[in-house]
Structure 1
Amino acid sequence: MPNSLPMALLPFQPLSRSMITATSSTCSELFRPRTTARIGAEPAAGNDRMAMTLYGAPLSPFVRKVELCLRLKGIACARDPVTPFALPEGYERINPLKRIPALAVDGRYLADSAVICRFLEDLYPEPQLIPTDPWLKARTGWLEKFADYELAPAITATAFRHRVVLRSMGSPYDEPAIAAALAERAPPLYGYLEEQVDGRIFLVGDRLGLADIAVVSQFMNAAFGGESPAAERWPQLARYLGNHLASEPFAGVFAAHRQMVDKMLARGH
């Protein structure tokens, strides 16, 4: 797998900083295991600051979705980078489904990235990542679900799990079968997103939101697995992804996670 960005994800015009509200946390601070971010956001009125720990491996697109919400909102949170392949004993008490991510909040636990992100939005409403307008809020929920339940199994898991995870472990995988599965399942999903982008900078409304975070996070992992929408066939989607992957809050995370993937693959040879 090449180290360079796939052609369809080459950066176009980066988004200006004025379009995105983000904190100045560095990637090393963001993903350092079992530490607490230095920046603390102000909670909504009536809520005291809470002690939080996020459980999950940073290369998971679902963990990354929560990480980006934490970063954008400047929420202080410790990290425990557990992986689904080596969960600590007793993790089922945190999440009975034994999945990541999970969030500990003052000794209580939440599971599922969508649930966690909505909790963070309610607790720390600024910057707003989920619109309050009923239609835009519903659109955000739908596109997040589309990313989690359609893009993830059809594209992300297919490309990333086999071409990165299994390959890094030295396990065999059927590349022709993977390529055939992607060729069959990806085009309808890319086509739908092509229509949703339709010249927009953001999927919902006029600012970066949870819908963008969920979708772009999945395409990061797909890119690590050598899969991306062809610019000549899906130009709107390719432009949208290129813009976001070249801009914060995604660019630094994308580069840092690319380095992690490269190290994984180097160890697998």
Structure 2
Amino acid sequence: MIIYGSLVSPFVRKLLAYLGEKGIEFELKGVGIGDPDPGFRAASPLGKMPAMDDDGFMLADSSAIIQYLEAKHPAPELIPADPQERGQVIWWEEFGDTVFAACSGKMFFNRIVAPKFLGREGDLAAAALAESEELPKLLDYLESAIPASGFLVGDRLTLADLAVASPLMNFKHCGSVVDAATHPKVAAWSAAILARPSFAPWVAKEERMMAKVLA
């Protein structure tokens, strides 16, 4: 199986952690924004990452890929069969992908991607507004929702934890680290999830790469 994508994408990062938790072997082929790689473009008609080539079956979008893989590799279960828990996991993935990642994207794109990768000035006002107005409310909500078990759904690891923890790396690259004094549960939960063997090697590699980019 080939996965096309970049480590700094929260959607790619989520998928890589999911594959690690499942024990699914794959090859990561690095691609950038608008990459002309023919395999990537064949798998992702819109040129968005991640994309997958599973022995000739091609699919794009992290959520679509994960739904496909969960059906093909049902154990260990990361999308619960229980109706209520499944609904919660889908909600948290939506929160991670379309709310949390959107906020981190405003900061990460404008402060890092635009100037460092695209060679143009980012909208620093939009990044500052996201950090000062959007992010605190999202962290407050997450702080209120993390159970004592340390897992978002069903007192065990699910896709929910992977999807919501992933964008926090993009916040971190922008210098916005979760404050343990104001959001202690988020700080402890995110540290534990990102330290899992499914995340940790990719996080370490990503941090080395970003250190060179930001130097």
The answer as to 2:112 corresponding to 1:161 is no
3-state SS in 2 of match to 1:229 = coil
| Alpha-carbon contact 1:95-1:102 (below 8 Å) kept | yes
- Tell which deviates more after alignment, 145-154 or 242-251: 242-251
Identity score, percent: 38
Alpha-carbon offset, residue 74 of structure 1: 1.8
Residue in 2 aligned with 1:256?
205
- Structure 2 match to 1:71: 20
User: Does the 8 Å CA contact 2:106/2:126 hold for their aligned counterparts?
Assistant: no
* Aligned length in residues: 214
Q: For 1:139-218, what aligned pairs fall within 5 Å after superposition?
A: 139-154=88-103, 156-169=104-117, 170-218=119-167
Greater C-alpha radius of gyration: 1
Secondary structure, aligned partner of 2:167:
helix
Comparing 233-242 with 98-107, greater Cα deviation is found at 233-242
Q: Does 1:137 align with 2:70?
A: no
Report the Cα distance in structure 2 between the residues aligned to 1:136 and 1:64, rounded to whole angstroms: 23
2:90 pairs with 1:110: no
Q: Which has the higher helix share?
A: 2
Comparing both chains, which one has the higher relative contact order based on Cα–Cα distances under 8 Å and sequence gaps of 6 or more? 1
The structural deviation recorded for 1:202 is 0.7
Tell me the alpha carbon deviations over residues 46-80 of structure 1, each in whole angstroms, 9 at most, x when there is no partner. Answer: xxxxxx21111122111111111222222122322
> Bigger CA drift: 186-195 or 157-166?
157-166
Aligned partners of 1:214 and 1:124: how far apart in 2? 18
Q: Is the 8 A contact 1:159 1:227 kept in 2?
A: no
Instruction: Rate the CA distance shift 1:87–1:228 in 2: closer, same or farther, 3 A.
Output: farther
* Gaps in structure 2 of 5+ consecutive residues: none
TM-score of the pair, normalised by structure 1: 0.73
TM-score (norm 2): 0.89
